[in-house]
């Protein structure tokens, strides 16, 4: 079982102080948070991709490359790499380069994102979203596995005798997670290739999440990659902790109420009941996370969102300290029997 953190690099106003970090501060703080995550024993750090304000993560591989130089063990991943609007050739080359810099501790999560205007910014049509995801990944999959590729599709210019460079480290492509919240086509795609499926279930009830995971597992088995129980599943979660539950709720509520994602919708209490958002004591976060296994069966990767929404950098580091001291040891013990194990570069070399 792998545990990690993920985020999108948003800039937001702290409702308690009225202050927001500069872009420079936010980017540097993301690096510090990644280094801290390794220090407390996390396995994965994942960075998102956005090309609009208020986000600073337009170049995730650049940020991850810098994190690679500051760390030695943690897996470097993405919480989304836009397979729809990025050129598959550029994805193939960027992540293979990152593999070499990080000695193989790299994987990535592909997705369509949730920002409609990004499509025309990169010369694409949002109505082609699913078709782009399917076609672009078919090309990316080949670019990492074939030294010479001839390609012709609908959504990019043809390739003739093309070789993506550098080649994947040790001849092993980065492991791919297909991330989706609501698109069954992406769950089917993940199962077809035998890749991982990550359901970012932060905003969704467990019944919906289970349907998507079950669909993926069924397709994984259907296409000959092994029994459904061997499929590789990842889940998201969001936490905020203090020693006392009521202190956590009181401190977090203004961030929730002022969030462009949560604010104006269901209350904090209702959102906590109906989604994986967990605000409370460390034990409550442990109990909430353990229920994921009851709801969805064995899974291989659990990522937590602990920053953003205007939370001060100092508070984020405090959250990681609590996670490392009180939450991770218990979760590792409780999840020790999870099978199959999450894939790594080393495990896939053999």
- pLDDT at position 33 is 98
Mapped onto helix, strand or coil, the DSSP state of residue 72 is coil
Work out the angle at residue 40's Cα, subtended by the Cα atoms of residues 334 and 276, and round it to the nearest 5 degrees: 55
227 burial (CB, 10 Å; 0-12 / 13-18 / 19+) is: exposed
Ordered alpha helix ranges (H), the chain = 23-39, 60-70, 88-101, 118-121, 129-145, 184-193, 206-222, 245-257, 268-274, 282-296, 313-322, 328-334, 345-349
Q: 194 near 227, Cβ under 8 Å?
A: no
- pLDDT at position 200 is 84
Helix-then-strand count for the chain, H and E: 13, 12
- pLDDT at position 116 is 81
DSSP states of 164-188 = -SSPPGGG-PPEEEEEESS-HHHHH
Torsion of the alpha carbons at 110, 114, 115 and 120, rounded to the nearest 10: 50
Q: 339 near 298, Cβ under 8 Å?
A: yes
Q: For the chain, list residues with pLDDT below 70.
A: none
Provide CB contacts within 8 A for 310, sequence distance 6+. Answer: 12, 13, 14, 15, 20, 255, 258
Q: What is the CATH number of domain 2-349?
A: 3.20.20.30
Q: 174 near 110, Cβ under 8 Å?
A: no
pLDDT in tens, 49-62: 999 999 999 999 99
Q: Kindly state the helix (H) or strand (E) to which residue 82 belongs, with its residue range.
A: strand 81-82
- pLDDT at position 114 is 72
The token pair that represents 240 in the structure block = 């905020």
The label of the residue with tokens 């093309």 reads: 162
- How far is residue 122's CA from residue 90's CA, in Å, rounded to a whole number? 13
pLDDT in tens, 252-286: 999 999 998 888 889 999 999 988 899 999 999 99
Residue 122: CA atoms inside 13 Å, Cβ hemisphere, count?
21
């Amino acid at each position: 079982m792998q545990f990690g953190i993920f985020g999108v690099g948003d800039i937001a106003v702290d409702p308690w102080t009225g202050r927001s970090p500069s872009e420079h501060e936010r980017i540097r703080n993301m690096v510090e948070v990644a280094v801290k995550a390794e220090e407390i024993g996390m396995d994965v750090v994942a960075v998102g991709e956005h090309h609009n304000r208020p986000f600073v993560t337009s170049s995730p591989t650049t940020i991850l490359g810098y994190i690679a130089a500051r760390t030695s063990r943690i897996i470097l991943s993405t919480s989304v790499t836009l397979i729809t609007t990025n050129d598959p050739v550029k994805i193939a080359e960027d992540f293979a380069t990152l593999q070499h810099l990080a000695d193989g501790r790299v994987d990535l999560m592909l997705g369509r994102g949730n920002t409609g205007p990004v499509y025309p910014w990169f010369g694409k049509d949002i109505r082609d979203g699913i078709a782009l995801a399917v076609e672009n990944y078919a090309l990316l999959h080949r670019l990492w596995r074939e030294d010479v590729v001839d390609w012709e599709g609908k959504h990019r210019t043809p390739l003739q005798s093309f070789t993506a460079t550098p080649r994947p480290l040790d001849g092993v492509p980065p492991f791919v997670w297909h991330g989706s919240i609501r698109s069954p086509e992406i769950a089917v795609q993940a199962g077809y290739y035998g890749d991982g499926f990550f359901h970012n279930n932060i905003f969704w009830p467990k019944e919906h999440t289970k349907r998507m995971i079950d669909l993926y597992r069924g397709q994984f088995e259907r296409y000959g990659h092994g029994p459904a129980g061997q499929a590789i599943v990842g889940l998201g979660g969001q936490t905020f902790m203090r020693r006392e539950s009521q202190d956590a709720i009181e401190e977090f509520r203004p961030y929730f109420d002022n969030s462009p994602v949560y604010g104006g919708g269901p209350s904090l209490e209702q959102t906590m009941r109906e989604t994986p958002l967990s605000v409370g004591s460390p034990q409550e976060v442990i109990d909430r996370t353990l229920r994921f296994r009851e709801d969805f069966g064995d899974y291989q990767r659990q990522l937590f969102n602990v920053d953003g929404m205007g939370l001060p950098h100092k508070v984020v580091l405090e959250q990681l300290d609590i996670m490392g001291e009180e939450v991770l040891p218990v979760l590792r013990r409780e999840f020790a029997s999870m099978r199959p194990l999450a894939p790594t570069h080393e495990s896939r070399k053999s």
